[in-house]
Amino acid sequence: MTAAAPAIRQTAALAWRSIITTIRLPQAWFPALFFPLVLMAIFTASFGGAPGVVPGFPPVRGFLDFAVCGAIVQGVLIGGTSAGAAFATDIEGGFFDRLVASPISRVAILTGRLGASMALGLFQAVLFIGIAWIGGARVAGGISGFVIVLVIAVTFAAAVGGLGVFLALRTGSGEAVQGMFPLFFALLFFSSAFFPIETMTGWYAAVARVNPISYLVEAMRLEIIGGATAATTLAGIGIALGLAVITIGASALALRRRLRVAA
């Protein structure tokens, strides 16, 4: 048995536990599925006539095709916040202490939680695209486009999960982590997640243009509505990966910092 094998098994066990407890706690998964879908439905109903009429709106088959990736990113943000809050609850409640007092891999404490976030992100992406497909949307990029959307969604889920875990480790408080949510939401609204930058004006457009979330959503969206290039895809994957490296790195440092008080 290699040295890594126990860590992998522990990661799987902790990810399984995170998934189980998420499923059993409706307030942990309901908002992450319900709100993005509601917003997607409202936007589609409100702006369904926008494509082809509003100047600057990209050519799409329907507004739903345009809206689905914004919903995925929003769902992943909500899910990541819940994951962070759950991790903080583990710290507050003592589950974290039990893990730390056990001879288990310190890395597995992180990767277990991140694995669950990635699984939830994958589920959200597949579910939302499936619902949009039922609503008439189609993936222009075909199977490969679909896979690219999933890869970006899952990588972004790891990034957001990392951010949630980082905040949990630094604050040790579920409420503090939940309290950060409006900030994430603002980040989402100041991007092209819901509307194209081309229809925005003034400083709002300027902010959206420098917001990395815009390019992440854009990369996914172009796989669905068509028009993806190697550059847009790589930008999306690169941004998701970059964010993941930053947040997971920060959470690893925060874990070390928290464990440094321990032996």
Partner 1 sequence: MTAPAVETRDLVREFKGGIRAVDGVSLVVESGGIFGFLGPNGAGKSTTVRMLTTLLRPTGGTAMVAGHDVMADPDAVRRRIGVALQDAAIDPYMTGRELLRLQGVLHGLPRAECRARAEDLLARVGLEDAADRRVGTYSGGMRRRLDLALSLVHEPVVLFLDEPTTGLDPTSRVALWEEVRRLNAEHGTTIFLTTQYLEEADQLADRVAIIDGGRIVADGAPAALKADIGEPLLTVTAGDGSTPDDIAGVLARFGPIVPGSVEGGAGVRLPGGSSAMADAVRALDDAGVRFQAIDLAEPSLDDVFLKCTGRHLEGAGEEPPAA
Residues forming contacts to partner 1 in the complex (CB under 8 A) are 6, 9-10, 13-14, 16-17, 20-21, 24-25, 93-95, 97-104, 260-263
Residue 6 C-beta: closest distance to partner 1, Å: 5
Instruction: Name which of 207, 262, 247, 254 is nearest 81 in CA terms.
Output: 247
Residue 100 C-beta: closest distance to partner 1, Å: 6
Instruction: Name which of 38, 192, 188, 234 is nearest 128 in CA terms.
Output: 38
3-state helix, strand, coil in the chain (%, to 5): 80, 0, 20
Residue 244 C-beta: closest distance to partner 1, Å: 25
Measured distance CA(18)–CA(1) in Å, rounded? 26
Are the beta carbons of 85 and 164 closer than 8 angstroms? yes
Per-residue tokens: 169:
């480790």
Burial of 231 per CB tally in 10 Å (0-12, 13-18, 19+): exposed
Q: Which of 20/206 has CB closer to partner 1?
A: 20
Residue 19 C-beta: closest distance to partner 1, Å: 11
Q: Which of 143/261 has CB closer to partner 1?
A: 261
Q: Which of 53/260 has CB closer to partner 1?
A: 260
Q: Which of 105/211 has CB closer to partner 1?
A: 105
